[in-house]
Amino acid sequence: MKFIDLGLDERILEGIDAMGYENATPVQEQVMVPVLEGRDIIAAAQTGTGKTAAFVLPIIQKILRHASNSASPARHPIRALVLTPTRELAVQVAENAASYSKHTDLRAAVVYGGVDMKEQVSILRNGVEILIATPGRLLDHIGSKVANLSQVEILVLDEADRMLDMGFLPDLQRIINLIPAQRQTLLFSATFSPEIKKLAQSYLRTPVTVEVARQNAAADTV
């Protein structure tokens, strides 16, 4: 499948072109259409399958209508939130989001623990539509009223199984309870353990299930 067949905005296609991707990977084919249609998703997809673009691209498409070149922070509330277990994954996802949204007025940023809050605070105060975060640090920013989730439309739980393994369930529950119920939720996990199924049952609405075999996205196209 070609990205152009998905009806993505020209500005997003430019970002994809710059990455040199020709065709969508299997997980991208299966995830992007239902996400664009507004469905919730539970997907078994490992890193390396192209899963990041599979959720980032349709998210950008969906929130592009909110893009604004206004300098006012009020015009840049958080519309999409991606939660990841680790700083490394958060940074990777944020780099992808920044590349794909480069030709738009949407802003993407990342916050994670273990570093000073100051720089993150000023980025959040300026406003950002796509926020990638590790759960604990996000709760710190929420606690100090620097981050507000009341306008989040799309929530992604990336590597959800690892987040549960790392004991983030209470943090996830606190965060999800601050997001409007009228949202789209995308859950990515390497496995569908009973705990993951329970999480999906609690927070997803009639999700589309996607399972793709382990494979290497880059090898597919080189």
Which residues form the interface with ligand AMP (CB under 6 A)?
21, 24-25, 28, 47-53, 217-218, 221
Nearer to ligand AMP by C-beta: 115 or 218?
218
Identity of the residue numbered 55: F
Contacts 24+ apart (CB under 8 A), 117-125: 117/141, 117/144, 120/146, 121/146, 125/73
Q: How far is the CB of 99 from ligand AMP (least distance, A)?
A: 9
In this chain, which residue has its C-beta nearest to ligand AMP? Answer: 52
DSSP state of 66: G
Nearer to ligand AMP by C-beta: 25 or 104?
25
End-to-end CA distance of the chain: 16
Q: How far is the CB of 45 from ligand AMP (least distance, A)?
A: 7
Nearer to ligand AMP by C-beta: 149 or 212?
212
Nearer to ligand AMP by C-beta: 60 or 124?
60
Nearer to ligand AMP by C-beta: 47 or 86?
47
- Quick one: which H or E segment has residue 189? strand 184-189
Identify the CA nearest to 52 among candidates 188, 164, 176. 188
Q: How far is the CB of 158 from ligand AMP (least distance, A)?
A: 9
Q: How many angstroms separate the CA atoms of 7 and 172, rounded?
A: 33
The token pair that represents 110 in the structure block: 């990342």
Q: How far is the CB of 170 from ligand AMP (least distance, A)?
A: 27
Q: How far is the CB of 66 from ligand AMP (least distance, A)?
A: 24
